[in-house]
Every structure is written in C-alpha cells, then in structure tokens.
Chain A
C-alpha cells in the first residue's frame, strides 16, 4: 500500500460539556451501533490502508477499550495493523502531546521506520465515508505537497473549523484556523495527504522551533511556500465536537437517504461486535421514527429518537427527540424530551427531563440494582 494512516483522537472539547467527562470525542457513540472513530477507521480499512496509528491522549480508556482488538476493522494483520499511541515518558521527553503536530512528532520513529511513501492524516471526531485512494490519486495528479480535504459547511458554524479559499485550480490561497469572521463556508475536514518524508521534515523543523500545531504551525505557515491543494467532497461529512452537532449528526440517521448512504451502500462501516440479543418490543410499546439497537427492551413510547445498545425503557415512559446512550435503564413513567441521556445510567421512575431551548444532558449516576 502507498499510504500510512494517522488518526488524531486525543482531543477534548469543552463544547461537548459533560459528555466529554467520560470519554474522548472519538469514542462518542454514533447512530446506535457505532463509535465515531469507526468512520475514519472503516474508511481507512476500506481504502486498503493497512497500517494505521491512532493517537490518543485525553480520557482514552473508553477509546482504548473500543480499539482493544483490531480485528473488527480487519486490522488484525501480520503486515501493518492498528497501532494505538498514547504519550509516554522517555529519558528525553516527559511531555503530553502538546498539539497535533507534537503528537505525531513524538511518534516520529514509527513514521521513519515505515516505508509507505504517503501519509493520510484524519481526525477521529468526524462522521463520513471516504475513499482515501481517490484523494491520494488527486494529490499525485496535482503534484501537490499537501492536500486538504474540504467541504462546504451548511448547517454548522464554519468559524469553528479551518476556513479555506481556493483558486480555480483548487490551490489553496487562504487558510485561517477558527477565524472570528469569514466570508467563505469552505472548511477543512481535518483530512490531509502529505508525503511521508516531507511530513517528517516539517515536523522536525516545527519541533525545533517549539511549535506544536499541525494546522496553525505547519499548514498555514507553509501556505505560500508549498503547493497546498483542496480536495472538495460533496458527500456526507459531519463533525461532532459540540453538543449541538453531536445531537444533529445522530438525528441525521433518522433520514432515509443518510441511512441508505451509510448502512446500505458500499463500503460498509465496521465496529466492535457486542454480543447482545435482538431488541425486544413488549406489549404497551409504541415506537415511531426511531433507531433501536440490539439488547434494548422497550415497554414505553419512543418517538424521533435513537436508543443505543442495551437500553431498557420502562412502562409508560415517553422518549421524544432524544438520544439515549448505551446501557441505560429508564424507570417507569419517565419523560425524556430533547435530551441526551449519558451512558450506563439508571434513571429513576417518574423522572421528568425536557430540554427547553437547547439539548439537555441527563446524568443521574444512580446505583443500579439487579431487577
């Protein structure tokens, strides 16, 4: 294979509020059965990238648990495979990853010892499917030094991303990271293609200068020096790093065209297999326009919602426009509306939660007794 994969999954965002207390964003559950990192990982696997490193740092237990076995994404290989790199203390370095560039720099040895000519860098907090081979071909055809995959931002705030402007040849002329105001809605998806040797050079120089960020300190600074091209995608792409966008991304899966794109069209998205029984619909349930995952037992009413794995919905419950994460027990007569219920929780019977003007995050942290 011609490229290595690097997935940056170390980040945290305070805009995820309480949801990030438990896990890295890349480990956020998506669409009932998946976690966010499944999307870049599956895209890499389906693009026949056989050697992938996941760089984790913040709150990585949940992510490490998910990646414990690499076989689900077909990375259980003798050649290549899945590498999970967390910061380590060495005789010369006792820093955390101080930024995206530093994260890769601290694992430079892995990059140097590989032989693949290109590197594909992606972030672990986006939901999409992409054939990286096409991006690579484009990169080679354009004789680019760096290719940045970009997309038009419609229902999100473009100013929380890197904002770009390209000329008619798709060469990037302007690139600003999280600008206060901008008149372009073309944003970087955090997916980059670069020659491996080239990346090593830039990282080494960057580290010497005490700079640590891949975008601010490398791509933007090299903008006029290097040939940086944009590869524009029109397929579904969504970043989940705020509560609103996380909620919206999940709710997108209630739309038939989105489900068809991710679930029925080639290629598939893979995930770790949990051995849960089929979902069970008991008398008194009423489910409308909802996604239900395996292991759920439903006795109440569920509307326009997503139930993740192993959710128990008690009698006379009403769940509307909500997301209930993995392994939650909802006691009888509970009302949940416009909420995200945090995973592994037990909600007492007769509770009432309703997000009024914004999405409410429900966390009760009750003890669960055997029922």
Chain B
C-alpha cells in the first residue's frame, strides 16, 4: 500500500497563521508541525512510500519534509516524494480538487504498482494504524473503505455523514446534512483498491474541482462498487479553526492528556533542528505547560504551549497561550489567550489579550474565541496594548496603534517583519 497525503490546502480559517505556509506546515504541540502526525502514522503503519501533494505556499513544508529523514522515509525505493502541480504539454492546470490532485499524479502511483492506495488529509491530529484499516478493507473485499468516527448528532451536520447497513457497507452519504440520519462522520481518510481508484479518476477526469467526497465516492457507489465504513474510536482532532487549534494545543497540557505524546508506542517524529535543552532561570516559573527544546524562560508561564527556541524575558507573564518557534517575548510583556506564530518579536511591556471582546472587523468568523492572533515574524513595538479577537501581522510601528492600543476586534496587517 502506498499513501498520498493532500497537503496543498491553504486552511484559510487559520487566518494569518497560514499567510505564508500551508496548513499542514503550521506548528503544533510545542515542537511538531501538523503534517508530522499523518507522516508518522504512515511509517508507524509500515507504509514507506508516501506522496505529499503540495500547492499553496509549499516552502516551509518542502524544507520540513526534505528527503524524509526524520520519519525514516529516505529510502532507496519509495520514501517520501513531494508532488507539486506541474506543466503538461496540454491542459496544464493547478490541483482543482482533492481527487483532481490525485488524478494528476496517476503516473507517480502507477510507478509503484500498488494494490491499495491510502488517501489522507495533511491537517488532522491523531494516531491511527492504517494497517488495521487495510485489514478491514481486505476482509470485506471492499473497493473503497472510508474511515469514519462517531460524532455527537448535533455536530453531525458539519461533516460528510455515512449511512451504513448492519455490516458496515455504505448505502448512502450526505454532505453536511441539515437533519443527519447517522452520526458516522467521514475523516477524509480513504483506502482504495488500485483498479477502482484508477478507473474512477479517469472516468471523472473532466469533472471540474473533482473531489473525493463530492464526486468520486458517489460515482463508485453508483457504479456498484463495495464501499465500507471503517469506524475509528481514538483521538482525532480537526484543527481547522483558530478556536479548535488553540483548544487542541491546550488539551496537551492536561496531566494525562487524551492525546498522549509521551507513550513509547507510536511515536510522533519531527524534524528536530534545535537540540539544546531548555533553561528556566531563578526568577522564571512554569506551571502546567509543555515547552520545546532550547527555550529560555526568565518570566512566568502558565497553561501554555511554548515552541522551541523561544525566549520569555524577565517580568513577562504568558498564560493560556501558544508561542511558536524562535519568538521572543520582551521584558514585562503580558500575554493572555494568544497565538503567537514563529519568529515573532513582542516588545517590552506589551499587553496582549486585554479588554472587552468585540467581533473582528476583518473576519469575525475566523478571529473569534477571544483569541489574539499574532502572525509569523510580527514585530510589536514596546508598550503597545492589544485586545481580544484581534489579529496583528508584519512589522508594526507605534503609530499604527492609535493611543498605543489596538482594541478588541481590531486587525493590523502590515508588510515585512522578522522573517528568517
């Protein structure tokens, strides 16, 4: 079995976090990036041939994956291949949909003569043994197996819902139904028998924006193929919105988190480019946190997820926040309930996450949950105050903040900043 990971999506609901990188490259859990989870699942499941389909802002993703060393995917045969869209002699196009992207890489898959192809999204947090799913697929003599998980019925209308008969065979699907008739939500993980996949991709090659959920699965069902739902009951988290992204990070700091990174079994691998240990000074204090390598803490940190190489200066207080790689929080700064992306520079005595909540002026659906979101490489000058439901990005200057204050719901997007 070979795996194809769809990692080309922007993830626009993560707002400024995905301004310069695709969603699978966004940092998660103090040292990882989101794509580490499906990649580690692949190698832990014994899959050593993985294609990663990229399209939107692939630089971070490319340099993170490299030749696949951290996941032991640097192989003589197979291994990891990054697959961007490419020019063809006729009808060159971008990846217009999930299935279209796979279709454009038929030749890649064919070169490995697979019996089965695993199709994955690159943007979920979970541990899953795909081999167990493959066994299920084989024992059902299925053509397509869709991984599903039970969700609360009231939330089911946000998902693609599978309706099955008593043996797990899918009889119907509903895409984001208003009145769901089942609570089995598709996780966007499919196993196809190769012939079925190839045949249906070719049959639907002219379909605009060809998508697995919308086009391929209905096509297969109508063609009388055997579609099965594989029920997964472990931890699985969609981190598609800033709220759920923040929530999933915060769950990791529970004493015994539901999603446990500390188990010997089923490790998650990542490119660890920072090796040095972290340091907590005599004035520093840390409570209920996870902290990445090389971080130096001279201030106070509570209930937070801190990435590698971060500096929290003396007198700074950080709580309920996510601070990513190589950021610096200046002396005396107060940060609460914020997401601070990589390489950000928070000036001395800056206050973030204060005052009243107000709907965000730029996009109230993205920047909500009372979170202040600070983009990659953002510079915030000394003494500025920033409210809730706000977004700040780029090299900001004191004159960008009227009265030194960006009130709740404010947005400040500028060019430049501290980019590596």
Could you tell me which A residues sit within 8 Å of B by CB distance? 31-34, 71, 254, 259, 262-263, 269-271, 273, 275, 277-283, 285-295, 297, 306-307
Q: Is the CB of B288 within 8 A of A290?
A: no
Could you say which of B253, B275, B285, B305 contacts A269, with CB atoms under 8 Å apart? B275
Nearest Cβ in chain B — how far from A340, in angstroms? 16
Question: CB distance B290 to A280 under 8 Å?
Answer: yes
Q: Which 3 A-B pairs have the closest CB atoms?
A: A32-B277, A278-B30, A277-B261
Q: Which of B114-122, B171-179, B234-242, B265-273 contacts A (4 or more CB under 8 A)?
A: B265-273
Supplied contacts A33-B293, A275-B70, A278-B292, 7 more A-B pairs, CB within 8 Å: A31-B276, A33-B275, A33-B277, A288-B282, A291-B278, A292-B277, A292-B291
Q: Give the contacting residue for A292; candidates B253, B261, B278, B285; CB below 8 A.
A: B278
Which residues of chain A come closer than 8 Å to B289, judged between CB atoms? 280-281
Chain B residues with Cβ below 8 Å from A279 are 278, 290-291
Q: Check if B31 sits within 8 Å of A281, measured CB to CB.
A: no
Q: How far is the CA of A141 from the CA of B306 in the complex (A)?
A: 49
Shortest distance between the CB of A302 and any CB in chain B (Å) = 8
B residues engaging A (CB < 8 A)? 29-31, 69-70, 253, 255, 261-262, 267-270, 272, 275-282, 284-294, 305-306, 308
Name the residue in B262, B269, B278 with the highest tally of chain A Cβ atoms < 10 Å from its Cβ. B278
Cα A283 to Cα B303 in complex, Å, equals: 10
Residue of A nearest to B71 (CB): A275
Q: Say yes or no: A297 contacts B262, CB within 8 Å.
A: yes
| Pairwise interchain contact B275-A281, C-beta atoms closer than 8 A | no
Q: How far is the CB of B95 from chain A (nearest CB, A)?
A: 31
Are A283 and B275 neighbours in the complex by a CB distance under 8 Å? no
A270 to B285, CA, bound (A): 29
Q: Which residues of B contact A281 (CB under 8 A)?
A: 286-291
Q: Is A280 a contact partner of B280 (Cβ separation < 8 A)?
A: no
When distances are taken between beta carbons in the complex, the residues of chain A under 8 Å from B293 are 33, 278, 293-294
**A290–B298 CA distance with the chains assembled, in angstroms:** 11
Q: Do the beta carbons of B282 and A293 come within 8 Å of each other?
A: no
Pull 20 A–B residue pairs with CB atoms less than 8 Å apart, ordered by A.
Answer: A32-B277, A270-B275, A275-B272, A277-B30, A277-B261, A278-B261, A278-B308, A280-B253, A281-B287, A282-B255, A285-B287, A287-B284, A287-B285, A287-B286, A288-B280, A289-B282, A290-B280, A293-B277, A293-B293, A307-B277
Known: A295-B262, A297-B262. A290 touches B279 (CB 8 A): yes
A275 and B267 alpha carbons, distance in the complex (Å): 7
The contact of B280 among A262, A289, A294, by CB within 8 Å, is A289
**Cβ–Cβ contact A34 & B275, under 8 A:** yes
Separation in Å of the B312 CB from the closest CB of chain A? 13
Residue ID in chain A nearest B293 by CB atoms: A294
A257 nearest CB across to chain B (Å): 13
Closest to B271 in A: A273
B317 to chain A, nearest CB (A): 15
Q: Which residues of B contact A278 (CB under 8 A)?
A: 29-31, 261, 290-293, 305-306, 308
A271 touches B275 (CB 8 A): yes
Question: Which residues in B have their C-beta under 8 angstroms from that of A294?
Answer: 31, 277, 292-293
Cβ–Cβ < 8 Å partners of B69 in chain A? 71
Q: Which residues of B lie under 8 Å from residue A254 when comparing CB positions?
A: 279
Bound-complex Cα distance A326 to B112 (A) = 42
From the candidates A31, A280, A288, A307, name the one contacting B262 in the complex (CB within 8 A).
Answer: A280
Question: Smallest distance from the beta carbon of B256 to chain A beta carbons, Å?
Answer: 10
Closest CB in chain B relative to A255 CB, distance in Å = 11
Give the Cβ gap from A86 to chain B, nearest Cβ, in Å: 26
| Minimal Cβ-Cβ distance residue in A for B31 | A278
Chain B residues, CB < 8 A from A285: 286-287
The closest CB in chain A to the CB of B264 belongs to A370
| Interchain CB contact under 8 A, B268 and A277 | yes
Of A282, A293, A294, most B-chain CB atoms within 10 Å: A294
Q: Closest CB of chain A to B250's CB: distance in Å? A: 13
Q: A71-B69, A277-B290, A295-B262 are in contact. Are A286 and B276 (CB under 8 A)?
A: no
Which residues from A are CB-within-8-Å of B261?
Answer: 277-278
